[in-house]
């Protein structure tokens, strides 16, 4: 079967999966067919030839609608590609669709999708959430039969959460390892483009393609990676087990014991401040980033009526969801004179302290291991009963490594109540080689 026939089959599978799970905002039918024809004529195959890539809808794709999951960008079609898309196409990959996400990445369950968009369903139980904000990517990755990889993005756990809830591997790289050029930001100092695959090797394949410094993104870096070495000693942070469901905690310790590596339980009291610090920093940056969407230069366009302020308020009230409004209000508050020192600057200092403490831990341990999420994927009716502060607290396992910009991956470790649960592996900055090597070792043991 040649690349054109393979692409047609992949489109059919994408449409079938979306009909079942609502995991795509846009399916790239014409674009994928055109790309297949180009590849058939080309002599260069590339590392991703024959692979179909789903792309989180916060990543810009030239000529393909890119909404960031928000109604305010429902009709935005970028005239350029994100750097990661150019890299994927240079290696023969075909973008098959743009996956569903929480609007601008604001969510833990992928239920905060833009107005008019369907909520994605978990492939293991369609009455449950996929995890956010890259929920569509997690569902699609599990459901595709083969030759599919996903581009996702994480701010505070948006790769780990859906990977754990959907039972796939999710890789979040060191901050700066992948160019953010062409990413519609949630929080600039936290956002990281990563990958998902059915196993560690698949996720690593796509990760290796998108790694590297980019002159269009001054926050991207190229740093020589240390060679992988055998993991001899791992650390388990006691505070990151607080609030974890007892059945998941039991599965976690079973997995640790199977690994056969020396481990030590350690205390990291600053971790208790990580969720609060993260949400102060992230919402402050988000409120600034979202200020541009007011219906004139960016965002939904309507005839101007009344004063500028009235038009501005009308557009944002109409097209922003409750969660977008909540984070704008919170972020604006913590940046306001009189509160900046009390909240925002204090959160930045705590973040630096957490980074320093992690650096000290990696002098003692090769890796740190935690549950990926404290609960299994919740049912949709359970989510509606949760208060926002209760939802934010569920990011307690994923926020610390994201706040510190550390590379980490989620790997399926077991099932609880017939739903997958994930193991989170954290390594030191720029040690992706070790992360992947340990991930494969864990994968082989836990199969």
State pLDDT tens for residues 222-247. 777 777 777 889 999 999 999 999 99
Mean pLDDT on 191-211: 98
pLDDT of residue 309: 83
Residue partners of 172: CB distance under 8 A and separation at least 6: 154, 159, 160, 192, 194, 401, 402, 407, 408, 409
Burial class (CB in 10 A: 0-12, 13-18, 19+), 71: buried
Count: domains in the chain: 1
The region of weakest confidence among 95-104, 220-229, 372-381 is 220-229
Mean pLDDT on 73-93: 97
pLDDT of residue 84: 98
Report how far residue 56's alpha carbon sits from residue 195's, in angstroms, rounded to the nearest whole number. Answer: 10
Domain that holds residue 9: 1-258+367-447
Identify whether 85 is part of a domain.
Answer: yes
Concatenate the DSSP letters of all residues of 38-79 into one string.
Answer: HHHH-S---TTTT-EEEEETTB-BTTB---TT-GGGTT---S
pLDDT of residue 114 exceeding 90, the answer is no
Q: Is 305 a catalytic residue?
A: no
Query: CB neighbours (10 Å) of residue 309?
Result: 9
The region of weakest confidence among 2-6, 27-31, 112-116, 253-257 is 112-116
Mean pLDDT on 95-114: 96
pLDDT of residue 1 exceeding 80, the answer is no
Q: Is 133 a catalytic residue?
A: yes
Q: In Å, how far from its chain's centre is CA 359?
A: 23
Mean pLDDT on 96-123: 94
Mean pLDDT on 38-46: 90
- Which helix (H) or strand (E) segment holds residue 392: the answer is helix 388-393
Tell me which residue has tokens 């592996």.
Answer: 425
Catalytic entry in 158, 207, 410, 429: 158
pLDDT digits (tens, 9 = 90+) for 292-313: 998 887 888 887 777 888 888 8
pLDDT of residue 232: 86
pLDDT of residue 337 exceeding 90, the answer is no
% of residues, the chain, pLDDT over 90? 87
Catalytic entry in 51, 56, 87, 177: 56
Report how far residue 206's alpha carbon sits from residue 147's, in angstroms, rounded to the nearest whole number. Answer: 12
Mean pLDDT on 276-291: 96
Omega before 133 within 30 of 0, i.e. cis: yes
Identify whether 277 is part of a domain.
Answer: no
pLDDT of residue 290 exceeding 80, the answer is yes
pLDDT of residue 307: 83
Eight-state DSSP code of residue 368: E
Mean pLDDT on 162-184: 98
Report how far residue 362's alpha carbon sits from residue 114's, in angstroms, rounded to the nearest whole number. Answer: 40
Q: Which two tokens stand for residue 254?
A: 């079973």
Mean pLDDT on 95-106: 97
> Is residue 345 within 8 Å of residue 277, measured between CB atoms?
no
Return the ∠ at Cα 104 (arms to 103 and 106), rounded to 5°: 70
> Is residue 421 within 8 Å of residue 410, measured between CB atoms?
no
Q: Which two tokens stand for residue 143?
A: 């459901």
Q: Is 288 a catalytic residue?
A: no
Please tell me the number of Cα atoms within 13 Å of 19 on its side-chain side.
6
Any idea what the CATH number is for the domain that residue 3 is in?
Answer: 3.90.1300.10
Identify whether 15 is part of a domain.
Answer: yes
Report how far residue 149's alpha carbon sits from residue 171's, in angstroms, rounded to the nearest whole number. Answer: 12
Q: Is beta strand 233-237 parallel, antiparallel or unpaired with respect to 262-266?
A: parallel
pLDDT of residue 220 exceeding 90, the answer is yes
pLDDT digits (tens, 9 = 90+) for 321-331: 999 999 999 99
Q: Which two tokens stand for residue 342?
A: 């009390």
Identify whether 126 is part of a domain.
Answer: yes
Please tell me the number of Cα atoms within 13 Å of 362 on its side-chain side.
20
Mean pLDDT on 168-185: 97
Catalytic entry in 133, 287, 321, 410: 133
Q: Which two tokens stand for residue 425?
A: 């592996």
Mean pLDDT on 84-110: 97
| Mean pLDDT, the chain, integer | 95
Between the alpha carbon of residue 99 and those of residues 29, 111, 314, the distances in Å are 14, 13, 28
Q: Which two tokens stand for residue 23?
A: 């995991």
pLDDT of residue 338 exceeding 90, the answer is no
Concatenate the DSSP letters of all residues of 274-288 into one string.
Answer: HHHHHHHHHHHHHHH
Identify whether 283 is part of a domain.
Answer: no
pLDDT of residue 208: 97
Residue partners of 377: CB distance under 8 A and separation at least 6: 122, 124, 125, 128, 129, 130, 131, 165, 166, 419
Identify whether 42 is part of a domain.
Answer: yes
Q: Please report which confidence band the pLDDT of residue 152 belongs to, taking 50, 70 and 90 as the band edges.
A: very high
Mean pLDDT on 171-197: 97
pLDDT of residue 225: 74
Max distance between CA atoms of the chain, in angstroms, equals: 69
Mean pLDDT on 85-97: 98
pLDDT of residue 97: 98
% of residues, the chain, pLDDT over 70? 100
Q: Report helix, strand or coil for 141.
A: helix
Identify whether 291 is part of a domain.
Answer: no
> Is residue 373 within 8 Å of residue 398, measured between CB atoms?
yes
Tell me which residue has tokens 């394949």.
Answer: 205
pLDDT of residue 313: 87
> Is residue 228 within 8 Å of residue 430, measured between CB atoms?
no
Identify whether 32 is part of a domain.
Answer: yes
């Amino acid at each position: 079967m040649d690349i054109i026939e393979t692409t047609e089959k992949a489109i059919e599978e994408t449409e079938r999966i979306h009909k079942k799970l609502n995991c795509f905002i846009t399916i790239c039918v014409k674009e994928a067919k055109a790309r297949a024809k180009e590849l058939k004529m080309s002599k260069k195959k590339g590392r991703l030839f024959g692979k179909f890539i789903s792309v989180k809808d916060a990543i810009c794709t030239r000529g393909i609608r890119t909404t960031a999951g928000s109604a305010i960008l429902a009709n935005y079609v970028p005239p350029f590609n994100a750097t990661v898309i150019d890299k994927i196409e240079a290696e023969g990959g075909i973008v098959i669709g743009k996956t569903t996400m929480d609007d601008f990445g604001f969510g833990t369950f992928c239920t905060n999708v833009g107005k008019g968009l369907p909520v994605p369903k978990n492939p293991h139980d369609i009455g449950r959430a996929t995890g956010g904000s890259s929920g569509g990517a997690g569902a699609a990755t599990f459901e595709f039969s083969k030759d599919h990889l996903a581009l996702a993005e994480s701010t505070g756990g948006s790769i780990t959460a859906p990977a754990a809830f959907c039972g796939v591997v999710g890789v979040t790289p060191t901050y700066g390892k992948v160019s953010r050029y062409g990413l519609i930001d949630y929080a600039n100092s936290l956002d990281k483009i990563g990958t998902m695959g059915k196993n560690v090797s698949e996720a690593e394949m796509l990760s290796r393609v998108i790694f590297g410094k980019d002159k269009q993104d001054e926050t991207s870096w190229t740093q020589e990676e240390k060679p992988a070495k055998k993991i001899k000693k791992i650390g388990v942070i006691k505070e990151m087990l607080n609030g974890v469901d007892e059945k998941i905690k039991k599965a976690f310790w079973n997995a640790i014991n199977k690994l056969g590596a020396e481990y030590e339980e350690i205390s990291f009291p600053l971790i208790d401040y990580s969720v609060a610090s993260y949400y102060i920093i992230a919402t402050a940056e988000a409120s600034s980033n979202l200020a541009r969407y007011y219906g004139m230069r960016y965002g939904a366009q309507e005839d101007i009526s009344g004063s500028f302020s009235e038009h501005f308020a009308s557009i944002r009230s109409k097209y922003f969801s409750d969660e977008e409004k909540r984070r704008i209000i919170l972020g604006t508050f913590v940046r306001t004179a009189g509160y900046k020192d009390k909240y925002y600057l204090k959160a930045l200092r705590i973040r630096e302290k957490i980074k320093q403490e992690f650096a000290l831990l990696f002098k003692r341990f090769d890796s740190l291991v935690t549950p990926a999420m404290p609960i299994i994927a919740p049912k949709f009716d359970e989510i509606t009963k949760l208060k926002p502060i209760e939802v934010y607290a569920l990011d307690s396992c994923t926020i610390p490594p994201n706040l510190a910009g550390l590379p980490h991956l989620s790997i399926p470790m077991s099932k609880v109540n017939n739903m997958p649960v994930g193991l989170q592996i954290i390594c030191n900055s720029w040690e992706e080689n070790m992360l992947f090597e340990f991930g494969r070792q864990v994968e082989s043991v836990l199969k």
